């Protein structure tokens, strides 16, 4: 499986809360949530983001509420999130939704908005294709890579249906 992702970078700071990615009232509607996603921090983002783009963010990205905010980002086609650190719930949710999120201290110093990034999700190796600099993110655990390879948690469950006595 090809685990390398390349895309244009959008940058965000620290403590970007999940409610700003998916506003209250849009929890059940990724399309509606996408219309205002992250607009509190970057007004251009919801309308100018393209499928395949990559988010580079600071500390505690996706903190606060446990809503599945990455569904809005998946709807917009965000291919990966690289951050200094992630909110704990957001981290689990986002992998399960099928969007890889990798933690890499120092990442914000490495990228500017509009740069081209490349990340190998299975190894955590990151490259700024615009400047040439590289970094090593924490390697995601096999359990999460397995779910991502299946296309997210739901697809993963479907692919191993016979392991559940609660499923037909």
User: How far is C-alpha 86 from the chain's CA centre?
Assistant: 10
To other proteins, the closest distance from the beta carbon of 89 in angstroms equals 5
> Which residue, 15 or 130, has its beta carbon nearer to other proteins?
15
> Which residue, 17 or 130, has its beta carbon nearer to other proteins?
17
**For residues 78 and 68, is the Cβ–Cβ distance under 8 A?**
no
Contact set with other proteins (CB under 8 A): 14-15, 17, 19-20, 22-25, 27-28, 40, 59-60, 63-68, 85, 87-89, 91-93, 96-97, 141, 143, 153-154, 157-158, 161, 164, 166-168
* DSSP β-ladder status, 125-128 and 4-11: unpaired
> Which residue, 97 or 135, has its beta carbon nearer to other proteins?
97
> Which residue, 23 or 110, has its beta carbon nearer to other proteins?
23
Distances (CA, A) of 39 to 10, 34, 51, 67, 128: 12, 9, 17, 17, 25
């Amino acid at each position: 499986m090809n685990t390398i992702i390349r895309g244009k970078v959008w940058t965000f700071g620290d403590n970007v809360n999940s409610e700003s990615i998916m506003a209250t009232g849009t929890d059940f509607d990724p399309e509606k949530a996408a219309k205002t996603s992250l607009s509190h921090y970057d007004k251009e983002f919801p309308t100018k983001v393209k499928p395949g783009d990559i988010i580079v963010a600071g500390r505690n990205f996706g903190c606060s509420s446990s809503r599945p905010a990455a569904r809005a980002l998946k709807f917009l086609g965000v291919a990966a999130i690289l951050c200094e650190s992630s909110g704990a719930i957001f981290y689990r949710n986002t992998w399960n939704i099928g969007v890889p999120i990798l933690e890499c201290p120092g990442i914000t110093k490495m990228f500017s908005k509009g740069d081209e990034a490349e990340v190998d999700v299975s190894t955590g190796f990151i490259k700024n294709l615009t400047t040439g600099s590289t970094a090593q993110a924490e390697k995601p655990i096999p359990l999460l890579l397995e779910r991502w390879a299946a296309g997210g948690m739901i697809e993963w469950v479907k692919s191993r249906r016979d392991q559940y006595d609660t499923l037909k």
